[in-house]
């Protein structure tokens, strides 16, 4: 009887020790994910008019920087009043200026009221600004909006803050940590395979950027339509007159 009690006590102690060791290992593994350090993100709109550029700068890793073999990517969610041109992104990829994937279909001709939101996966590049700096410049285009009925000359389109993700080949990441939120996405801009990316919390140096987009006035629709029709009719008349005169001279 005593031997059985001793055996049970020994097994219980052993199980507790193994559990403690696993928990300690999990804490060490979780704490090792702090290698990224404090992360800050800043986004800024460049240029004016309907065709803009969204500059996104990320600083991570602190004084040690971000280890080699680690990548940072952004998921940029664009409201339906703004879009990216997939053909333009393909050209920028060929010239090695930008690596980005459009995650849903884009109709570049549709106005804002016939469009939907667009998401873009952007692979950042290391910047020479600092050892842990990454940067990306995404070209954006504003869509035409309905004419204003209240006299407004512009509408404001707010660009929200993007999701920031990291993937490392050199730093182990415990995906079972409570702090770990994993997102599956393309490994590279080639979009041949998918990988698990770790979502990264960051500090906003600047809030979401805002685009001021010009809109027409509904009360001027009749005047504009009449003027357009008049100019078109005159141009057609001039062209037909020139063609008829040329035919008469040729005859």
Query: On the CB side of 137, how many CA atoms lie within 13 Å of its CA?
Result: 10
Q: For residue 19, what pLDDT is reported?
A: 41
Q: For residue 5, what pLDDT is reported?
A: 43
Tokens encoding 70: 């680690």
Q: For residue 151, what pLDDT is reported?
A: 76
Q: For residue 23, what pLDDT is reported?
A: 37
Q: For residue 24, what pLDDT is reported?
A: 31
Q: Count CB neighbours of 41 within 10 A.
A: 21
Q: For residue 159, what pLDDT is reported?
A: 93
Tokens encoding 100: 């980005």
Stated pTM of the model: 0.74
Q: For residue 206, what pLDDT is reported?
A: 75
Listing DSSP states for 154-202 in one string gives EEEEE--PPEEEEEESSS---TTSTT--EEEEESSTT-SSEEEEEEE--
Residues of 172-201 as b/e, b for ≥16 C-beta within 10 angstroms?
ebbeebeeeeeeebbbebeeeeebebbebe
- H/E element holding 33? none
Each residue's pLDDT, cut to its tens digit, for the chain (251 residues) gives: 544 544 444 444 444 433 433 333 333 335 445 667 789 999 999 998 899 999 999 999 776 778 788 899 999 999 999 999 999 999 999 999 999 999 999 999 999 999 999 999 999 999 998 888 999 999 999 999 988 787 788 899 999 999 999 988 766 665 566 667 888 999 999 988 999 898 998 998 876 689 999 887 665 556 666 778 788 888 888 888 778 777 777 65
Cβ partners under 8 Å of residue 170, min gap 6? 67, 68, 69, 70
Q: For residue 148, what pLDDT is reported?
A: 79
How far is 126 from 112, CA to CA, in rounded Å?
Answer: 34
């Amino acid at each position: 009887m005593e031997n059985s009690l001793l055996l049970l006590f020994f097994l219980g102690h052993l199980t507790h020790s193994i559990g403690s060791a696993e928990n300690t290992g999990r804490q060490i593994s979780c704490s090792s994910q702090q290698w990224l350090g404090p992360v800050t993100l800043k986004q800024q709109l460049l240029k004016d008019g309907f065709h803009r550029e969204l500059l996104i700068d990320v600083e991570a890793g602190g004084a040690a920087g971000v280890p080699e073999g680690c990548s940072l990517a952004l998921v940029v969610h664009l409201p339906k009043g703004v879009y990216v041109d997939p053909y333009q992104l393909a050209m920028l990829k060929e010239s090695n200026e930008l690596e980005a994937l459009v995650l849903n279909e884009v109709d570049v001709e549709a106005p804002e009221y016939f469009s939907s939101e667009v998401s873009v996966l952007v692979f950042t590049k290391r910047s020479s600004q600092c050892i842990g700096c990454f940067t990306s410049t995404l070209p954006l285009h504003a869509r035409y909006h309905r004419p204003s009925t209240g006299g407004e000359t512009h509408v404001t389109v707010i660009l929200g803050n993007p999701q920031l993700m990291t993937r490392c080949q050199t730093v182990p990441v415990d995906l079972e940590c409570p702090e770990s939120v994993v997102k599956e996405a393309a490994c590279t801009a080639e979009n041949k395979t998918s990988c698990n990316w770790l979502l990264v919390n960051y500090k906003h140096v600047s809030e979401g950027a805002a685009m001021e987009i010009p809109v027409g006035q509904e009360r001027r629709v009749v005047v504009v339509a009449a003027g357009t029709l008049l100019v078109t009719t005159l141009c057609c008349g001039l062209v037909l007159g020139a063609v008829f005169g040329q035919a008469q001279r040729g005859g």
